[in-house]
A and B are shown apart, each in its own frame.
Chain A
């Protein structure tokens, strides 16, 4: 199987040959053409998307350009990025049966194969569910099962784990490995969260071969993952790719071997020096938002009628205060009620009991697209405000949106959409900013830029409450954390104190990333932990200079 090919702008001169059973991970910064590469293999390019394709892709004896996408599906299985659009039918069973029916598999065999595919992703209990009830992570596992069930010769995985927690991630990794062991498909994986995907095994948990795409979609490196990451780690790190921790530490400290290696640990220690006082103020302003004894029902709010008294509330007995200039992170497992809490604090959804007092907060949503109201970036920022040209220009510049001012918000890249949604909200100068998973799905560079923007707003006195599942982000930014579990707040306190409470983390189903665990053990001073995390982020070129 080979695809030597040439395409202007997006991909250039990419030639790859994959043998059955070979696993490839494609690494590159946002916009380097990773997804495009997958689309050329499925045949979506050139069949469904208008693009000029030079060169060719061959699967066995089949050339993709001569064969329709549907016919290619006999050979290629795809797990697409967004699980809500890769699970297409009303019931889980139907979803899994469809690929088999399409391949004319004997109906008598289908039920057993559905069970086997669900077992492979550890989702047997979802068999009789309707797909509308699935959470993002569950949907992602079903989408993978629906792809594995047909045993395609080529398996393409486009960020198959973006919505999974640690347990789900392990299930996906094992499912892919067992598929490779049983029927030897060639695997091409594109993954943002490389470090999480690799798991505790580090680089050994990744596909053994890596392909690095650079700007304009050229192949920078192609070879064994260990070697490729060792050689290109520093430049990938600078370019804002998420990398396995040991590669990132290699890039920053110059020593290989990860946290287990004394030299690396010494390197981290030296990053914590010289100790400086925490950059941020520790004395926060007066209370700007107070919530007292909130009870929140699912689906509360003006438009949807809440079945009063029938359902158990999502959250009960929640009281909290936010002080001016303070950054607070809300933690909790999937379904713990983080979004519901934010919507209630924002005044968008009515609590069934309790009160929220304080000035009207601003809020940014997990999917930035939900917020967009106007047809250009410029109008989007002006929306709901009267800004003169100078003010607008300053905002555009501060958030690096000047060159995009006339574009449609919907046509921006993921990182640009996030910048715009943050810029448009901050322009309102509200005393409180609520943010629901503000760094979700962003590459490292955009993550750092988003955190920097939130940090600047807090420095200017805005109080920030954000939800996140990424504890490294939380440790980098938050002053204080609130942990939700068992339908209420189980901890509320300074970030590094709470992250040291193992019992609280276990109860909320949170797992400390190895780096954060190490830093908490290594350093007693919060300032040092912050400094190390800051130094690690500083190794990434963000395009806005260091703060």
Chain B
């Protein structure tokens, strides 16, 4: 029971599993790299460059993050679905050389290329996000942002307190649903009705209770002196040379791939959109 609860808490256990290189890296650096790579990708419109980046990122994360294959694949599903959508919409709707036609449907070369580029871009951002989320403890991220990215202490701890409230919500919701179900007139089959109205009522009760609780939590945090300056930090999230080395490595690989792709004439920018 205990171990089960700890693992659902995104690994906030005091000791992290050994050998998990990525999860030991500084969360702020990881978040910054995710942001930089995504930003660079915004300007790339050929399919080859993001494909290479995707394969490299996939390999690097699989090698360093020890994410179970099943979890990794499942986490891909939303990104794959979105990518497929982008591919189909672009392939069918962009003007250009017609590659294939059937009635009103026609696929253009340009559409296919731009669609593939956008889809692969989605996958690169997707795989990096998966690696980030599955290797980063939410609490450590907030603490690190506070320490290394100058996020204010009030905001940091407000988010952490919100996280704590979120943990309680399912139980609270369940209790409210139970309490409401007692007085509901049953349907003919003896079961309580599941109407939108019932959910609405339960949601309202949850909202009222949560707002009050949030208010009380805010008062508690203030009474503990949150917002006083100067403050100290007990368990600093380390920012080591390895973290900087990882940042350098990622940026170098990004630079080399984009550079090579430009050199080979594969790289395409906004001009593709015509």
Contact = CB atoms under 8 A, between A and B. Distances in A.
Asked if A and B are interacting partners, one says yes
Interface of A: 42, 44, 48, 69-71, 73-74, 76-78, 80, 82, 84-91, 93-94, 97-107, 110-111, 128, 130-133, 143, 146-147, 150, 301, 303-304, 307, 311, 343, 346, 348-349, 360, 362-363, 365, 367, 369-373, 383-384, 410, 424-425, 428
B252 interface: no
Interface string B166-177: 011010001111
B181 interface: yes
A169 to B, nearest CB: 22
B164 interface: yes
Contacts, number: 175
Interface string B217-246: 101111111111011111110000000000
B8 to A, nearest CB: 9
A373 B201 contact: yes
B16 interface: no
Contacts of A88: 157, 160-161, 164, 217, 220-221, 224
Contacts of B222: 48, 69-70, 73
Nearest to B174: A303
Given A101-B232, A370-B175, A70 B164 contact: no
B226 A130 contact: no
B220 A86 contact: yes
B213 A84 contact: yes
Contact of A303 (B177, B182, B233): B177
B12 A91 contact: yes
Nearest to B206: A370
Contacts of A311: 1
A74 B179 contact: no
Given A130-B6, A349-B178, A384-B183, A105 B232 contact: yes
B220 A348 contact: no
Interface residues of B, number: 56
Nearest to B14: A128
B164 A74 contact: no
A471 to B, nearest CB: 26
Nearest to B164: A90
Interface of A, helix, strand, loop or mixed by DSSP: mixed
A90 B14 CA distance: 12
B139 interface: yes
Contacts of B205: 369-370, 372-373
B208 interface: yes
Contact of B139 (A86, A94, A107, A301): A94
Interface string B80-111: 00000000000000000000000000000000
